[in-house]
Amino acid sequence: MRGLTTVTLVLAGLAAHALAHTAPPPLPQRRKSLGFGPVLPHARFETSPPSTAGFAPVSSTDPFHVARDFLSHYVDPAVGRAYTIRSDSYTDHSTGITHIYARQIIGGIEVADGHINLNIKDGRILSFGDSFFPGGAPASVAGEPVHPHAVYCSQLADALVFHQEYLVDSLDTAPQSTLSQDQRKTMDGISTLSHLLESNCAVIAPPPSLYAGENSQIDMDPRRSLLVFMASALPQSHPELETVLENPEKYIQGIHMTPETHLIGEHASIGMVLTNVPGTVGDVKTHVAWVQVPREDGTVQLELVHRFEVEMEHNWYEATVSAALPHRIISVVDWASDSPMPIHGQDSEQFPPLAAFIPSGSYLPSVDSVHKSEIKTRPRLGKAIGDRKKAKSKGKLSSHSKQEDVKAFAPIPRHKVQLAKYLVFPWGTNDPEEATTRREKVEGTDGTQHPLSYGRRFMSELGDTLASPVGWHTLPYENDPSIDEDELRAARARGEFWRLTNTTWGNNVFAHENWDGQYRWITNYRPEGSSVTADASLLYAFPYAPTSKDADNEEMDQAKKYIDATVAQLFYTSNMAHDLFYRYGFTEAAGNFQQYNFGRGGAEGDAVIANAQDGSGFNNANFMTPPDGQNGRCRMYLWNTASPYRDGDMEAGIVIHELAHGLSTRLTGGPVNSGCLGWGEAGGMGEGWGDFIGTLVRSTDEYSDYPMGAWASNRDKGIRNYPYSLDPEINPSTYETLDTPGYWGVHAIGEVWAEMLWVVLQRLINKHGFSDTLFPPVPDAKGRIPNNDFYRPQEYDRLGKPLPLVPKHGNTLFLQLVITGMKLQPCSPSFFDARKAILQADEALTGGENQCEIWAGFAERGLGVDANVVGQTPWGGGVRSNGFEVDKKCHGNKHPAKPAPGNPDEDCGPFGWCWPWKDENGRYKIPKLPGWPWANYY
């Protein structure tokens, strides 16, 4: 593959151009991750249809009747085209909108990327996303097979070589002592492209040993297709990779296949469960499906594929591999997302060491390779506490022998829950330094030297009986993964339904250490609370006073010494985020993370598994989001960026960012579809929402700019290119920024999206004011919201039915609009789709009173109505044009003026690489270029 052999040589040459420096940036962790797939030219998201046909109300206001009437236009028995409505469709009671998800069926086989999401209210379709295949089942395979994997890698390699050559030329003419900002960003681009290339393109074409037969022959045995995928997915250092490539028969015969029924809505097909697959940590699920693949001639064809769900130690993949020989990877989404330390340094830093560009398939030393301390290493699951009979007589949490009894009082429990207390850095403060600064301001102790723990406070469990009806430390015995059959039978014999624990183990979150960095977690260590308060509630108060050490092993021993405080903080922050997200619509039906759902819909058994001080790396964090009903996994790491080591568990913004991956993935495209935010702008927005919500949580009524991850990374600017700021001199990001060096990865794409949201947020705060709390008031025992200053006055429809409550302040309102927008937007949204969805959320909730503020905020950063993109690729490439115009209905309002035209040579970008193809209106267009099948459709 062109470009692969030049990476190391070019980087070595670049290093020779840079001077040595005494304090190099810390070595970044880069997890190998695959992610690419076809960009569908016919996919659309309609919010303002040109015609009312199909959008007008039908005789019934039942949203499912409305949906079926609309979907009937997509049915054609003559070509085998049908659909099924997925079981995860639901009504959002925070907005009154019903979200219905349909999957296309052609010839009795589901189309894996054939989605329609319908948003329906009061018998009317508000909007819909549509990526259904417009034709029928193919009679045969026509033409040469399309190889999206190879095309993707070819584009990456071309871009990488181009940027390497540009940087070498610029270093030859630049001063040797420092690097310009443009050079550092070009290095970022090279680093990102190198990582993408190494991760995705190490094995593109399977060796002959992995298939036998003629080209285009259909191979319905999924095992060889799976090994083709594993050959690309396994890290280069994995001990089984060589055997997979050279002697696949060794594994094929050992992979066991068990048939199972695969259900999607009311459509049933035969799938397989594959066990004993090399490099996996669990069973692999597979079934046959269609996938849509664009061709160079402008058409789209259906490709028969084996669709796999593959859980590995550091990845959780949804992949499709062609059933036709030779097997080709068509698409892959990694359900794991992370927040790595960036390659580039601060303004004062010079070129990173060559080791910073370590190949993505290589493993760096993990925490478990460092000497372990002897403190508290016994496993602790948490134990059931309290005499249930005494508790019942005193009015505490009662026992229940039948699940139906519990459902009777959901969502509000009948008995008072004793709320635990925690000594933690309070919610709303981002990190130990910010917590200290805010406490000093309140107490007037500015300028005094304080320990790192000074900002901690005794905080109570939130006690939101709507979001967490039985508190944070209680869950049913039947839903507790640590309870074996004997313990469950004993609990049933005692007539006990609930299990109250005295550790960081509950219905929403399981928090614990994971020093070994291993997949197992149930028996990991957790701190126990102490019953020292007058009301018998538990107190989680542990020392935290790290100091600078001389050696790495001493730093590690010290970090482990304070693991109780670390896990308690992670448990507290994660539960606060759960309850916050719940109150804005991330409920059980919407796919949230809970072991028990109180009979309120959705799939249960999926509380977040939260690993503190995970031993699989440093300077990172990640979150895995499988479909609803499977546990989310959050892994937080130590950051060896300062002495003492900084613990990512203590930086709330990083924790919230990771948990927000679960939020956006489950809401976009529906709870059981985790493949909608895989790459490009969609994958970037998955990162951007996390940054935005994490920054919003720490905001106060006194405006400030905020960097992301600054404390953990020990960098003033944090782990992004710029702090989030209204000042374009501080953060110049616009839509066109996505075309500049260093912005071809999801994190860089995401920070542009987060900056846009930050600008829109400030406009709504200017209009509606600021709320000191993001949390709505808790309902009373009858489920009624008390009088408050959080919501707008209650409104009613023409029949006297109360309408959904709407937050009244700018920060709370915009958080609601952003989260509601996630539910409205289609699978694989673009920036334009997500902007449309936010605007429609405002229309649905406020009647559109904030449309012009929202348009002005987006237009200020180049995403106005006249913004444009052509040639989008799965890795974020394309040619974008800023648009500074607002919607025509806002022309009477004050809005940013459109900048005067610049130098025409600027069309060539920072490298002199001109894009000559424009239409008659001066807009960029894509020519018919061989090898760019996606580009022809934009």
Cα radius of gyration (the chain):
27
CB environment 298-318: b (16+ within 10 A), e (fewer) = eebbbbbbbbbbbbbebbbbb
Residues 6+ apart with CB under 8 A from 754: 687, 688, 689, 691, 692, 695, 724
Query: What is the C-alpha separation between 495 and 818, in angstroms, rounded?
Result: 44
Token pair, residue 323, equals: 């059933």
Distances (CA, A) of 692 to 759, 859, 901: 11, 18, 31
CA 692 from centroid of its chain's CA atoms = 12
457 closest CA partner among 552, 568, 325:
568
CB 616 within 8 A of CB 517: yes
**How is residue 795 written in tokens?**
């409104």
Q: How many H helices and E strands in the chain?
A: 20, 26
Burial of residue 647, with CB atoms counted within 10 A of its CB: 0-12 exposed, 13-18 middle, 19 or more buried: buried
Question: Apex CA 385: angle with CA 381 and CA 391, to 5°?
Answer: 155
**Angle value at C-alpha 267, between 266 and 273, nearest 5 degrees:** 115
Q: 791 pairs with which residues across the strands?
A: 807
Give the C-alpha separation, 608 to 48, whole Å. Answer: 38
Coil, helix or strand at residue 191: helix
Interaxial angle between packed helices 746-768 and 810-824, expressed in degrees from 0 to 180 and rounded to the nearest 10: 130
Q: Which of 546, 533, 273, 305 is nearest to 420 (CA)?
A: 533
Take residue 684 and report the two structure tokens written for it: 């970037």
Query: How do 90-92 and 97-106 pair as beta strands?
Result: antiparallel
In degrees, rounded to 5, the angle at the alpha carbon of residue 815 between the alpha carbons of residues 776 and 847 is: 95
- The sign of the dihedral angle between the CA atoms of 904, 905, 910, 915 is positive
Angle between helices 563-583 and 652-667 (to 10 degrees): 40
Percentages of the chain per state (helix, strand, coil), in multiples of 5: 30, 20, 50
Q: What is the Cα–Cα distance from 703 to 349, expressed in whole angstroms?
A: 29
Helix (H) or strand (E) holding 569: helix 563-583
How many other β-carbons are positioned within 10 Å of the β-carbon of residue 6?
15
10 Å CB burial of residue 386 (0-12, 13-18, 19+) is middle
Residue for token pair 């006297």 = 800
- What's the per-residue H, E or C state across 746-800? HHHHHHHHHHHHHHHHHHHHHHHCCCCCCCCCCCCCCCCCCCCCCECCCCECCCC
Active site residue 144: no
The first and second tokens of residue 210, run together, are: 């992995």
Q: Residue 698: which of 689, 708, 713, 686 has the closest Cα?
A: 708
Q: Which of 761, 734, 677 has the alpha carbon at shortest distance from 866?
A: 734
Catalytic-labelled residue, pool 433, 513, 658, 681: 658
State how far the Cα of 196 lies from the Cα of 473, in Å rounded to an integer: 41
Which residues are designated catalytic?
A: 658
